[in-house]
Amino acid sequence: MDKQKFRKRCLEELRRKKKVNRYKLDKMVEKQLLLLIKNRASRVIMLYIPLKTEVNIFSLITLLRKEKKIVLVPFMEGKSFSLVKYRLPLKIKKFGVKEPKNSNKYIKKIDLAIVPVLGIDSTLRRIGFGKGFYDRFFEKNSKKIKEIIFVGREYCISSEIITESHDVKGCGYFTPKNSFLNQKMRI
């Protein structure tokens, strides 16, 4: 199976699931992420502003801001993005992505990056929506990021290697029902 077919299969699985329990399932992932953030004593955290198909982490963002953590989110720039501090109001941009107003770009070290995925392969590399935004961002910024955790609404993993070396590699994968960290990692 190639990456395109796998992506299509993951999207079909995601759409087939009932929307009834989404809130509860998203809360399960948020709880795992919060535990990870606390155990790692992460202070600077890269998150995302969720699309409808992604785990909704808005309450995690709110909680981390109350705890005075530095919360960074993508700000689209051409075929990639930079990171800016999360602040309201959010504007709807290309692809229906919400983002804060452009402010100072954050270029310092990041303790933890939480990245949405459709699925992963056996090398723990990301399969996203196919636009390459995250791949281009991490190619330029990977040395500044201590740890990358993938999150998805559905557990979708390929036993075959279907990614390429430029695809983002993570340290863990969290979904509502199945989660794991690289063997060298601990929660």
Percent of the chain predicted with pLDDT > 90:
52
Answer whether residue 186 shows pLDDT above 60.
no
Show Cβ contacts of residue 143 under 8 Å, excluding neighbours closer than 6 positions: none
Task: Establish if 27 belongs to a structural domain.
Answer: yes
Domain count, the chain: 1
What is the Cα 161 distance to its own chain's centre? Answer: 20
Q: Helix/strand/coil (H, E, C) string of 114-149? A: EEECCEEECCCEEECCCCCHHHHHHHHHHHHECCEE
pTM over 0.85: yes
What is the CATH number for 30? Answer: 3.40.50.10420
Answer whether residue 163 shows pLDDT above 60.
yes
Which burial class, exposed, middle or buried, applies to 29 when counting CB atoms under 10 A from its CB (0-12, 13-18, 19+)? buried
Task: Establish if 108 belongs to a structural domain.
Answer: yes
Q: Predicted confidence band at 182 (pLDDT cuts at 50, 70, 90)?
A: confident
Task: Establish if 43 belongs to a structural domain.
Answer: yes
Answer whether residue 95 shows pLDDT above 70.
no
Could you list the beta-strand ranges (E) of the chain.
Answer: 44-46, 70-77, 80-85, 90-92, 98-100, 112-116, 119-121, 126-127, 148-151, 157-158, 172-174, 179-181
Task: Establish if 126 belongs to a structural domain.
Answer: yes
Residue whose C-alpha is closest to residue 25's, from 4, 8, 50: 50
The average pLDDT across 149-157 equals: 94
Return the bridge partners of 152, or none. Answer: none
Give residue-wise pLDDT tens across range 35-79: 999 999 999 999 999 988 899 999 999 999 999 999 999 887 777
What is the Cα 157 distance to its own chain's centre? Answer: 16
CA dihedral 78, 134, 136, 104 (to 10 degrees): 60
Task: Establish if 187 belongs to a structural domain.
Answer: no
Return the bridge partners of 90, or none. Answer: 100
The more confidently predicted of residues 102 and 116 is 116
Task: Establish if 186 belongs to a structural domain.
Answer: no
Query: Which H or E run includes 13?
Result: helix 3-16
Q: Which structural domain, as residue segments, surrounds residue 137? A: 3-181
DSSP class of residue 89 equals P
Answer whether residue 185 shows pLDDT above 50.
no
What is the Cα 59 distance to its own chain's centre? Answer: 15
